[in-house]
Amino acid sequence: MPTLRRVRPRTAGEEADRLSALPEELIRLILSKLGTRAALSTAVLARRWARIPRELPAFDFRVRDVLAPEYERTVALRARNLPRDEDVGRMLDGLVASCERATMKAFVDGIAGFLEADGGRAHRSAKTLRLEFFETRDVGVVDRLIATAVAAWGVEEVEVVVRPAYTCDEDVPPAYSLRLKEDGHRSRVRSLTLGNCMVPPQLQRYDALTTLVLRDMAASTPVDVYERVFSQCTRLQVLHLTFCCCLEDWLVVDAPCSEIRELVVEACSFLVIELRNLPMLARLACLTNTVEIVFGSVPCLTHTNLTFFVEQEFVDSPPPHTELEQFLGTSPSTMENLVIRFTGPRRWVQAECIDNQLFALKRLLVADLPSNWDATLPRLLLMAAPSLEVLHIHVAHSDIEPQAFGVIWTKTSQEQQYPTSNLKELVMVGFTQQLHLHHMEFLKYVVSECTALQRLVLLKDGHVRYNGLWDWDMQHECRCWSDKDKRAVRRMIKSGSSPLVQLVLG
């Protein structure tokens, strides 16, 4: 008679051993797919998981991840001055402030516990460290985290964003400044992003720094802080200034030893940026029309992105919007790639002429034109760029008609002086032959004057897909053309000086 063996039930600990038995390569793969909080929380699943080094691409410690859901909703209500009852409003403000203090305490305690895990000897590896926290006096643990990440974990990219408290005074300058005392630590940081922080006073000692992003700089920031970034960070190659304010309106960039190749300025308070000497600058983006760019020595500039936004209302005369004319009139002759975008309810461009010829320009995008756009602007640009090969025009259809759009164009003599015979491709997205007959006149001008034209694309609907700031693709949706419209376009094209290789109607 066979002997019966009693099967002992498995305990919870033994069930957990199945996770510990997984191959280390699989555990590492699982951890790499998780966010910072989730990856660190897996240490409670099994002891073996806790001992495996967290080789994450980035460590993210953001205060928003631990905020109560009610916080954002309450702040949104108070931003709309709701509720109207003052007593209730003061009570909600107190709750918001209390939530911020409690969240920061939990945030600081969590980082301290993270640093002290396994007696501070935990094996970790990451390339990027991202921090977001409310303004606090307890910054010692933040400094210790950054120093440990750079010195021991191999972090090369650091992002620090100080989130203003809801009840703070907007005029109060930020109090946090990055502190890395040892030169060896500074030399390991290659990318640095600072949001609502003070710029380190000895930024030149970060001698390996190649990318710097400054965001939400206080209005009390002296202009020499920005000027020192250009002149002292000699290894810097990429600089982004976003929502940066300053005590002065005029920023002078005179950095003959600078290696900056990319400069992006967005929504800053500067009125004038004078690029007196920036020898390696190749890519420039000015995403606000409040900044006037004055060019000095920028011999390598080839790629440019300009965005113009006009919201003021001008009753008696067109707005004094001359930034485009000023830019094109003084831009360096090396520029090869240009993006021009128009946004805002009033889209006026006052450009009587372009005195400077854009001899190197080969690719041009004029985007977000309103439905009542004036064909004079692209025609003027065509005449100023004799080497232009690709011209893309995007008309943004909208149910709301723009309040105004216009171009003052006077010097027609340029038409014969600078023929545009090198244009090979013209793409027009948002082409509506019925709305504006002068668009057809523009096409007739292109077909007759541009003898090298090989490809003409006329699309009724579509959009621009941007590949970064200086490259783009024209995306379209197929729309049926009537036979009458097709015949009109083809008849006009046949009247040109040379036959087209390709015609696309969509």
Tens of pLDDT, residue by residue over 440-451, are 778 888 888 888
Q: Which residues pair with 252 in a beta bridge?
A: 274
Cα–Cα distance for residue pair 149/154, rounded to 1 Å:
7
Asked whether residue 195 carries a pLDDT value surpassing 90, the answer given is: yes
> Looking at per-residue confidence, does 388 or 54 come out higher?
388
Quote the tokens at residue 41. Answer: 């929380």
Predicted local distance difference test score (pLDDT) of residue 4: 44
Predicted local distance difference test score (pLDDT) of residue 398: 61
- pLDDT tens across 466-499, in order? 999 999 998 887 777 778 777 877 877 776 666 7
Query: For the ranges 1-10, 97-106, 135-144, 336-345, which has the lowest average pLDDT?
Result: 1-10
- pLDDT tens across 147-190, in order? 899 988 889 999 999 998 887 666 566 778 888 876 667 888 99
Identify whether 171 is part of a domain: no
Asked whether residue 503 carries a pLDDT value surpassing 90, the answer given is: no
Predicted local distance difference test score (pLDDT) of residue 444: 81
Q: Say if residues 123 and 148 touch (Cβ distance below 8 Å).
A: no
> Looking at per-residue confidence, does 503 or 344 come out higher?
503
Indicate the SS3 state at residue 39. helix
Asked whether residue 6 carries a pLDDT value surpassing 70, the answer given is: no
Q: Say if residues 410 and 353 touch (Cβ distance below 8 Å).
A: yes
Identify whether 279 is part of a domain: yes
The last residue of one of the domains, among 244, 270, 300, is: 300
- Please give the backbone phi and psi of residue 247, each rounded to the nearest 5 degrees, phi first: -70, -30
Question: Do residues 338 and 457 share a domain?
Answer: yes
Query: For the ranges 10-14, 50-54, 309-313, which has the lowest average pLDDT?
Result: 10-14
Identify whether 418 is part of a domain: yes
Query: For the ranges 28-37, 55-64, 161-170, which has the lowest average pLDDT?
Result: 28-37
- Please give the backbone phi and psi of residue 56, each rounded to the nearest 5 degrees, phi first: -90, 150
AA identity, residue 415: E
3-state secondary structure string across 171-191: CCCCCCECCCCCHHHHCCCCE
Quote the tokens at residue 373. Answer: 């756009």
Question: Do residues 349 and 482 share a domain?
Answer: yes
- pLDDT tens across 343-392, in order? 766 555 555 566 678 889 999 999 988 776 767 777 878 888 889 999 99
The last residue of one of the domains, among 300, 322, 346, is: 300
The last residue of one of the domains, among 273, 300, 327, is: 300
Cα–Cα distance for residue pair 426/294, rounded to 1 Å:
31
Cα–Cα distance for residue pair 57/35, rounded to 1 Å:
10
- pLDDT tens across 301-342, in order? 999 998 876 555 544 444 444 567 677 778 888 999 999 887
Q: Average pLDDT, stretch 18-44?
A: 61
Question: Do residues 417 and 291 share a domain?
Answer: no
Question: Do residues 309 and 456 share a domain?
Answer: yes
Question: Do residues 313 and 280 share a domain?
Answer: no
Q: Between the CA atoms of 44, 46, 52 and 53, what dihedral angle is there, to the nearest 10 degrees?
A: -10
Cα–Cα distance for residue pair 375/395, rounded to 1 Å:
11
Question: Do residues 323 and 465 share a domain?
Answer: yes
Nearest CA to 456 out of 485, 423, 420 is that of: 423
Nearest CA to 442 out of 353, 378, 387 is that of: 378
Q: What percent of the chain has pLDDT over 90?
A: 27
Identify whether 389 is part of a domain: yes
Predicted local distance difference test score (pLDDT) of residue 109: 84
- Local confidence band at 291 (pLDDT 50, 70, 90 cut-offs): confident
Q: Average pLDDT, stretch 220-249?
A: 93
Instruction: Measure Cα distances from 200 to 204, 210, 212, 227, 399 in Å.
Output: 9, 16, 12, 14, 48
- Local confidence band at 56 (pLDDT 50, 70, 90 cut-offs): low
- Local confidence band at 41 (pLDDT 50, 70, 90 cut-offs): low
Predicted local distance difference test score (pLDDT) of residue 389: 94
Cα–Cα distance for residue pair 280/257, rounded to 1 Å:
9
Indicate the SS3 state at residue 369. strand
Q: Say if residues 439 and 431 touch (Cβ distance below 8 Å).
A: yes
Residue with tokens 């930024």: 203
Predicted local distance difference test score (pLDDT) of residue 9: 52
Query: Which range of residues forms the domain containing residue 188?
Result: 177-300
Question: Do residues 351 and 396 share a domain?
Answer: yes
Q: Say if residues 239 and 212 touch (Cβ distance below 8 Å).
A: yes
Question: Do residues 261 and 307 share a domain?
Answer: no
Question: Do residues 467 and 492 share a domain?
Answer: yes
Identify whether 35 is part of a domain: no
Asked whether residue 464 carries a pLDDT value surpassing 80, the answer given is: yes
Indicate the SS3 state at residue 305. strand
- Structural domains of the chain, count: 2
Identify whether 17 is part of a domain: no
Strands (E), 96-190: 124-125, 128-134, 157-163
Predicted local distance difference test score (pLDDT) of residue 240: 97
Q: Which value, in Å, is the radius of gyration of the alpha carbons in the chain?
A: 29
Q: Say if residues 97 and 166 touch (Cβ distance below 8 Å).
A: yes
Question: Counting Cβ atoms within 10 Å, is residue 371 exposed (0-12), middle (13-18) or buried (19+)?
Answer: middle
Q: Say if residues 127 and 56 touch (Cβ distance below 8 Å).
A: no
Nearest CA to 394 out of 340, 437, 445, 446 is that of: 340
Quote the tokens at residue 366. Answer: 């004029």
Question: Do residues 345 and 292 share a domain?
Answer: no
Question: Do residues 240 and 308 share a domain?
Answer: no
Question: Do residues 295 and 329 share a domain?
Answer: no
Predicted local distance difference test score (pLDDT) of residue 29: 66
- Local confidence band at 501 (pLDDT 50, 70, 90 cut-offs): confident
> What pTM value is reported for the model?
0.83
Asked whether residue 285 carries a pLDDT value surpassing 80, the answer given is: yes
Identify whether 152 is part of a domain: no
Q: Are strands 124-125 and 54-55 parallel, antiparallel or unpaired?
A: parallel
Q: Which residues pair with 466 in a beta bridge?
A: 472
Predicted local distance difference test score (pLDDT) of residue 263: 97
Predicted local distance difference test score (pLDDT) of residue 21: 61
Nearest CA to 277 out of 304, 290, 259 is that of: 259
DSSP 488-504: HHHHHHHTSSS--SEEE
- pLDDT tens across 197-206, in order? 989 888 888 8
> Looking at per-residue confidence, does 392 or 503 come out higher?
392
Identify whether 21 is part of a domain: no
Contacts of 118 (CB under 8 A, 6+ apart): none
Q: What average pLDDT is seen over the chain?
A: 79
Cα–Cα distance for residue pair 63/215, rounded to 1 Å:
18
